[in-house]
Amino acid sequence: MLPHSVALGPFGRCVMMSVVPLQTVCMSSVENQRKPDARARPTANYESVRRTTERLCEDLSPEDCVPQSMLYASPVKWHIAHVTWFFETFVLETKLPGYQPFHPQYRILFNSYYNTVGAQHPRPLRGLLTRPSLTTVFDYRRHVDDHMMTLIEGGVDEDTADVIELGLHHEQQHQELLLMDVKHLFYANPMRPAYRRGKPQRPSREPGALKWLDYEGGVADIGAGCRGFAFDNERPRHSVLIDGFALANRPILNGEFRHFIDDDGYRRPELWLSDGWDRIRDEQWSAPLYWEQSDGEWQVFTLCGMQRLDDARPLVHCSYYEADAYARWAGARLPTEAEWERAAADVPIEGNFLEDEEFAPNSVEAVATGRPRQLFGDVWEWTQSPYTPYPGYLPVAGALGEYNGKFMCNQMVLRGGACVSPRLHVRKTYRNFFPPELRWQFGGFRLARDLG
């Protein structure tokens, strides 16, 4: 067991559906340029977010927290320290008079990619950091939390509140990354250990045949407005012209993807983008990540251990290349992020998230609502949109401007959140992004097609 949380202050067949009319929320260009309302920032959530991270570590041993299973993953211990480094570097060192850093070398050891701040320990070598010990990292966390609460309880100005709120959302991102990385690490272990037994998964339900929802074309406004928290890459809100399109009412399921595999989908070059075809040949892909065949039956590795593959649950852990190849095989395509956000406009943010502690996608019973199901939670959904800046995009000034903008190249956008995403972290405008070949994130997809 890891050290307990620190003590802080108080605190099938396709059936056509009816056409859905285009509805937009218009905002003036002046409103779009205003700074987000920061009068009521959730600094009271500081303790809650920090303790959630610690709860995710409670079932891990110290040995679980050191290794790094691949370049894109990080050790649990590094995650714990890095999110603490964020508050120390961007809040305490600039906003709390007389603050003394816990250890001067931590500025390098736990810096991720902020070149403006200074040097970083090489990313591929994070798993070699046996020191500082895990106990010391939790001491570091306690040190920073004590000082953060002193600062918060004394009252903070609007700019400081903005940075604290960004830091909390940054930590929620790392809560999801921590679970992704633990899953990949445990899968590298021949014992296939379970991270946590978790709550019993809800019984599988019959999701029904895939159906299409039609959306008429027109001008729609997408992106975050002037109020409420959003990352800079979600702004400004702007108008886009969308042609009429149809969107699947649910994500693609495991059983549907098995038909693609059975139809030699991984051996048909005409279905694949060139880079994707090179990737599956070089890495010998024949199924999504974590799928295994045993005695002719498919099994899948989950955070709760190896389980029989459930055909009724949404597919997860596929790359953009696999999603695109399946869509081509099915005579469809992936939606653009503008189409996805257009469809999400009338859908509440409800679903299976990190707080549900199931840590795997759930099936949803077919219900004729006329709206897409499972847009939020369960699986991040690949779109066909490259991760690029919105018109008029301006990164945050200073070092925090490196948070999103510098990655706007060679990445694809995913939308909607997953079963390991914190519920309050997900928004309809949230733009997640990964390189198209990666599969360890909880990525799935739904189909789209043109009307006409």
3-class DSSP state of 350: coil
Residue 123, Ramachandran bin (φ over 0: left; ψ between -120 and 50: alpha; else beta):
alpha
Tell the CATH superfamily of the 211-450 domain.
Answer: paralog of FGE (formylglycine-generating enzyme) (3.90.1580.10)
How many whole angstroms separate alpha carbon 96 and alpha carbon 85? Answer: 15
Find the Cα–Cα–Cα–Cα dihedral 390, 394, 396, 399, rounded to 10°. Answer: 100
Q: CATH top-level class for 42-187?
A: mainly alpha
The pLDDT confidence band at residue 3, using thresholds 50, 70 and 90, is very low
User: Which residues face 20 on adjacent strands?
Assistant: 215
Predicted model pTM: 0.90
Q: What is the pLDDT of residues 160-193, one digit of tens each?
A: 999 999 999 999 999 999 999 999 999 999 999 9
Q: Which residues contact 120 (CB under 8 A, 6 or more apart)?
A: 108, 111, 112, 113, 114
Name the average pLDDT for the chain: 89
Residue with tokens 């059983």: 255
Residue with tokens 């077919």: 366
Enumerate the domain spans of the chain.
Answer: 42-187, 211-450
- How distant, in Å, are the alpha carbons of 69, 187, 201, 325, 400 from that of 303? 15, 9, 12, 27, 33
Residue with tokens 């067991």: 1
The pLDDT confidence band at residue 336, using thresholds 50, 70 and 90, is very high
Radius of gyration of the chain (CA): 22
Taking 90 as the threshold, does the pLDDT of residue 196 lie above it? Answer: no
| pLDDT average, residue stretch 389-397 | 90
Structure tokens at 236: 């400004």
By residue count, the chain amounts to 452
